[in-house]
Amino acid sequence: MATDGEISHRFVETNGIKMHIAEAGSPGNPVVLLLHGFPELWYSWRHQMPALAAAGYRVVASDLRGFGQTDAPLGMEKYTSLHIVGDLVGLLDALGEEKVFVAGHDWGAIIAWDLCLFRPDRVKALVALSIPYSPRNPKHSFSQSLKRVLGEGYYFSRFQEPGRPEADFARFDTKTLVKKMLLNSKGEVLVAPKDKEVMDIFEEPTELPPWISEEELDYYAQELSRTGFTAGLNYYRAANLSWELKAPWTMVKISVPALFVTGDRDLVYFTPGIRDYIHKGGLKADVPNLKETIVLSSGHFMQQESAGEVNSILVSFFGEII
């Protein structure tokens, strides 16, 4: 086990893969499981881990399947939500934890909602950042709906195309890619014109905001270079297969206590129909135990941009459930 200050690192065998996890806090304390998004790592939660540990939790943040030091199996079909949730259930078993608190951001939020959907018996409460719950529509997947509304140039649709995003990304070094994606704060839907690629609509900032440093970007670049981006892109490519496999859970509601957090400059918050769904009763109807929806003054990567506020939200909400 390697140790980095308050955070220790090790590997766990789960669901046929070797998963890298970072841990903080004392064994025996209630566990909080933190799930990152794209293009990210356990490191996205570096500000939350010490805060939650200080509040009396054992904190576990993994590199999800395909990211960082965790195994990246070949094949799009190995990245359905059932595979990723299977990894997490195996992780909880390896940790000896029957039931945990969960926080997820971006793809980590999607997976966290599905963990609550498939195995509510393993989740005490959930905080989802950026992505609200979307129950399975029997007629078409969420990504198919977005493609119909926003067209072929929508970033989610482009990321599903075999090879195209890899060729797009290959024009830049890894650090530049990460910088362009993490520091996007336009607060708009990402749709590329027909004659441009997705990365063409991301600007590279001339200076860094106060919430991230060159050294932190270097760490992202180093770790994401281990596997490249194809495995992470396979989450997008497997979305329609996940929709097919989730047929038994069509229109099922989420029963666990939950809290939803978004940012007023989060690109997801500008997706057509999302605001009405969040604020006019749709999300509450699909998540009856939803306690609150919080809108931060933040962009998409809020646990880094607004770390102190997110820390307070997690500690307060999970503290209410204990």
Q: What is the CATH number of the domain that holds 62?
A: 3.40.50.1820
Query: Which has the minimum average pLDDT: 16-20, 118-122, 149-153, 168-172?
Result: 149-153
Which one of the listed residues 20, 36, 83, 300 is annotated catalytic? 300
Angle, to 10 degrees, between the axis of helix 174-182 and the axis of helix 214-224? 120
Q: Catalytic residue at 106?
A: yes
Give the pLDDT confidence score for residue 251 in this predicted structure: 95
- Compute the distance between CA of residue 172 and CA of residue 174 in angstroms, rounded to an integer: 6
- Compute the distance between CA of residue 138 and CA of residue 274 in angstroms, rounded to an integer: 19
Which one of the listed residues 106, 114, 168, 266 is annotated catalytic? 106
- Compute the distance between CA of residue 62 and CA of residue 36 in angstroms, rounded to an integer: 8
Mean pLDDT for the stretch of residues 29-58 = 98
Tally of residues, the chain = 322
- Compute the distance between CA of residue 173 and CA of residue 85 in angstroms, rounded to an integer: 31
Residue 142: which pLDDT band, with cuts at 50, 70 and 90?
confident
What b/e sequence results for 27-42 when a residue is b if at least 16 CB atoms lie within 10 Å of its CB, and e otherwise? eeebbbbbbbbbbbbb
Residue 36: which pLDDT band, with cuts at 50, 70 and 90?
very high
Q: Catalytic residue at 87?
A: no
Higher-pLDDT residue of 202, 310: 310
Domain coverage including residue 229: 2-321
Q: How far is CA 212 from its chain centroid?
A: 18
State the total domains in the chain.
1
Mean pLDDT for the stretch of residues 120-148 = 94
Q: Catalytic residue at 114?
A: no
pLDDT tens per residue, range 273-296: 999 999 999 999 999 999 999 999
Instruction: Map tokens 């951001």 to a residue.
Output: 105
| Distance set, CA 114 to CA 131, 207, 228 (Å) | 12, 37, 25
User: pTM (2 decimals)?
Assistant: 0.96
Which one of the listed residues 43, 235, 236, 269 is annotated catalytic? 236
Residue 17 has pLDDT above 50, yes or no: yes
Contact 122, 89 (CB under 8 A): yes
Higher-pLDDT residue of 148, 102: 102
Mean pLDDT for the stretch of residues 61-87 = 98
Residue 144: which pLDDT band, with cuts at 50, 70 and 90?
confident
